[in-house]
Chain A
Amino acid sequence: MITGFVALYIFMLAAFTGYEIIGRVPTILHTPLMSGSNFVHGIVLVGAMVALGNADGFWETLIGFVGTILAAGNAVGGYVVTERMLEMFKSSKD
């Protein structure tokens, strides 16, 4: 279990990492990066899977099931859309 200050340190370091990643990025890449980071938080899928896997009873299972559908949509949709954006970006650039 990640608790207390260890959790706080992880939150802090990850926040600075995210800040540094975006810091000096050219403006034209802002939209693809928004889409790319939208894909990255699709990692919520692994949490939804665990929640569904542990769900007891009808309502918990239903919410877990819907959550997993939504999360899978986030991950897969985010990836496909980002890839298409970068495809277009590349061809218009060359």
Chain B
Amino acid sequence: MSFWDFIVNASYFVAAVLFIYGLKQMGSPRTAKKGIKLAGIGMLVAVVFTFFHPAIEGGFWHYLLMLIAIGIGGGAAYKTGKTVQMTAMPQMVALYNGMGGGAAAAIALVEMYSHAAFEHGFALIIMAVVGALIGGVSFSGSLIAWAKLEGKLDKSFRVPGQQIINGALAVLIVILGWSIVGSDDGAPVLVTLFFLASLIFGVLLTIPIGGADMPVVISMYNAFTGLAVAFEGYVIDNPAMIIAGMVVGAAGSLLTWLMAVGMNRSITNVLFAGFGVDDGAEAS
């Protein structure tokens, strides 16, 4: 292990500890504010030391692009997050969560287009493909959730025979995914089609759900993004992503269930029954 390998991995370890401890602190009203600060410090440490990651082989331009991308994304999010109305918070969480899902899918795409994901065996390709699917669904689904809560999308939107279309699309996704796993280098066309199909799936899954059920759905996509991040962390050998993603995946799943129970509903009911369509229309 080289010097910088050690430093970077140590920073990821510190970040993982601070994330878990910070989330734990957020579970109690008295320590909640301290909790998010600790998690924030963990994030800052991990991001700063990633600039020294020995696995990064690109030159000066790549570092410049990184800084520009962080400036654009971080700046825009800081501005919107600070200025958004308190009542519009849920859709902002949905938006930021969708961005995380999109980022996880982007990592999967880069790893598959560059064939890097195909050099370390079977398990790794499956993780990359599943992560791309979950990340893509979370990305497009969260954007629909955001659009609905913003009132940019008709509240009740239901295609006839939706369940059948969803089922057919799911079958197509499985076939495409299996073809990618089975191929030696994942034909770029297959990967692109797979990603597009997962985006459409996220849209179709979210469109029939009414506004009143959206918090549960956003929480579910939050867990999805966590899982996608954990899987892609495995693909690019990043322990911080594996641990933080998996913790969020599990915590988010439990939260989703608790929220649904709080509304006297089950998750399947929220997702497939479409009762929320009427509730949503009233709530608006």
- A binding-site residues for B, Cβ under 8 Å: 1-4, 7, 10-11, 14-19, 21-56, 59-61, 63-90, 93
Contacts and interface: CB of A to CB of B under 8 A. Distances in A.
A72 B36 contact: no
Given A49-B50, A68-B69, A7 B242 contact: yes
Contacts of B161: none
Given A14-B230, A15-B250, A68 B32 contact: no
A51 B69 contact: no
A72 to B, nearest CB: 3
Contact of B39 (A3, A36, A68, A81): A36
Given A26-B29, A46-B53, A54-B62, 20 more contacts: A4-B123, A7-B123, A18-B247, A22-B251, A31-B89, A31-B90, A34-B219, A35-B89, A39-B36, A43-B46, A48-B103, A49-B50, A50-B50, A63-B113, A64-B110, A70-B103, A74-B99, A74-B100, A80-B82, A90-B29
Given A44-B107, A53-B53, A86-B32, A77 B222 contact: no
A86 B234 contact: no
B150 interface: no
Interface of B: 12, 15, 19-20, 22-24, 26-29, 32-33, 35-36, 39-40, 43, 46-47, 50-51, 53, 55-58, 62-63, 65-66, 68-78, 80-82, 84, 86, 89-90, 92-93, 95-97, 99-100, 102-107, 109-111, 113-114, 116, 120, 123, 215, 218-219, 222, 225-226, 229-230, 232-234, 236-252, 254-255, 258-259, 262
A76 B50 CA distance: 16
B51 to A, nearest CB: 8
Nearest to B95: A77
B69 A34 contact: no
Contact of A2 (B19, B26, B109, B234): B234
B241 A93 contact: no
A34 to B, nearest CB: 5
A87 B32 CA distance: 10
A55 B229 CA distance: 19
A7 B235 CA distance: 11
Contacts of A15: 246-247, 249-250
B29 A50 contact: no
Contacts of B71: 72
A64 B232 CA distance: 14
